[in-house]
Amino acid sequence: MSQTFKGRPVLPGNCSGEALVSRQGFNTLASFQKSVILHSKKAVCSDQDNKDLYGKEMTGKILCLPQTIGSTTGGLVLQTVAEAGTGPKAMLFAEHIDSLAAAGVILSDIWVGFRYVVVDQLGPDFLTAVRTGQTVTIQEDGTVVVG
């Protein structure tokens, strides 16, 4: 049975893919650091403090999270993995997108030419409903269908 959520499209687009869910704040630098340093072809989460994501591949996934946390380099990291082709396909935020993630996804769109599809304000029920591995479909108007 699918569930539908309506959020605010930050960077609109239509896409579908596999959900990767973090129920805690997503530390962008800690999560992508190892992949960036090693110039890996795939990004595997290296944040040992994130029990939901540690050791899981993030490349091409739809990241579902409350918001990002951590270093002010978070935006630059999102731009770097977009340029390397190892970033997620989309980012879905239960809460308001934070300024660092917003900067990273917008700069990736403008400077790198890679558009993360981004929707925020999906609400806490979104993170209760979505599970890692489920198919998530995002529509340009901010509608997200889980399952």
Report domain extents, the chain: 3-146
Distance CA 59, CA 17 (A): 11
pTM for the model: 0.96
- For residue 71, the model assigns a pLDDT of 86
Distance CA 9, CA 78 (A): 18
Distance CA 116, CA 13 (A): 8
Q: Which CATH class is domain 3-146?
A: alpha beta
Exposure string (b/e) for 25-46, b if CB count within 10 Å is 16 or more? bbbbbbbbbebbeeebeebbbb
Distance CA 4, CA 80 (A): 32
Tokens representing residue 104 in the block:
């990273």
- For residue 86, the model assigns a pLDDT of 97
Block mean pLDDT (10 aa), the chain, length 147: 96 98 97 96 97 98 96 94 97 97 97 97 97 98 97
